[in-house]
Amino acid sequence: MDKKFKKKRQVVFEKYNGHCAYCGCEITFENFHVDHIKPLLRGYRKNEVDKGTSKIDNLAPSCASCNCSKCDFTVERWRNELELKKERIKRDVPTFNLLLRFGCIAEIDKPIIFYFEKFNK
């Protein structure tokens, strides 16, 4: 890893004090992902007007599960996808509903607010 890349990675890591910008879990410098907040490409459309850059202000530290789930979505599109996942699990996963009925898990109806949105307040 060259010095310039490592320095940029360090700056991104420190943006949220070693936490994922999305879920807020603690991450390590060795294992975190660098996410493009506004994707470089969405769905392989090279001529998209509103594409992101690799400048620091468009980069966020992310845990692997958030980065892989976000994929090439914009933040708002991903938020909508996460809301849909809540509905799909309730609709399609019998084990979820069974555990819900036995009180082993609880359904909490609250909006999805990313860590970076709370952090910047």
Q: Name the residue among 14, 16, 24, 32 with its Cα closest to residue 114.
A: 24
- Per the structure, the complete domain to which residue 99 belongs is given by 3-119
Residues whose CB falls within 8 Å of the CB of residue 82, separated by 6 or more in sequence, listed in order: 69, 112
* pTM of the full structure: 0.85
How many structural domains comprise the chain?
Answer: 1
Mean pLDDT of 69-93: 95
Give tens-digit pLDDT for 96-115: 999 999 999 999 989 999 99
Give tens-digit pLDDT for 47-80: 555 677 889 999 999 999 999 999 999 999 999 9
d(CA 31, CA 27): 7
Cα four-point dihedral sign 100, 105, 109, 113: negative
